[in-house]
Amino acid sequence: MEQIQGKSILVRVCASVELPRVRVTGSQPYTIYDLHFFVVQELSRLKELYQQAEVQAAVDAALLQEEIIKREELERLQAELQQLLETERRAKEEEEKVRAKQEKLLEEEKKRMEEMERLRQEQERRLEDEMRMREDLEEQHKQKEKLLEEVSLIWHDAYLLFYS
């Protein structure tokens, strides 16, 4: 069997292959066939490792893609939550404004009702005053009529006394 001399690619690959320390056939140096066998074994092992690495890379890529999708969904949900919170905040502000306006309107309505009540009471008082004044005027009118009748009787009596 030929022995390997020089620096061919096969030799470089063989150099990276860890060869068994003891040869089964004895103390002869490794032949090209031995080295070929070791290289094929090493290439087979490397191919298997490469396939495992490819599978792991595919799994990692799928997990990464899944993580990216989950992160994007989380970011979308966070943005939606922020939007909902902002909408809720604005709704509360509007509700507070409406409540304040309602309170103001109620206060104004209360003042208007109080003013109307005050005006009604004032009008009743005026009516009562007018009724008293009318009663007083009627009483004065009755007294004047009575006085006029008395004066008329006195004049009549005086006329009768004077001309009789």
Does 125 fall in a domain? Answer: yes
Does 155 fall in a domain? Answer: no
Does 26 fall in a domain? Answer: yes
pTM value is 0.44
Does 117 fall in a domain? Answer: yes
Does 66 fall in a domain? Answer: yes
CB atoms inside a 10 Å sphere around CB 14 = 19
Query: Domain range holding 43?
Result: 9-148
Report the distance separating Cα 31 and Cα 39, nearest Å: 12
Q: What is the dihedral of CA 150, 156, 158, 164, to 10 degrees?
A: -160
> Residue 6, by phi and psi: left (phi above 0), alpha (psi -120 to 50) or beta?
left
Collapsing DSSP to helix, strand or coil, 2 comes out as coil
Report the distance separating Cα 116 and Cα 17, nearest Å: 109
Does 86 fall in a domain? Answer: yes
Per-residue pLDDT of 103-158, as tens digits, reads: 999 999 999 999 999 999 999 999 999 999 999 999 999 998 998 888 888 888 88
Does 115 fall in a domain? Answer: yes
Number of domains the chain is built from: 1
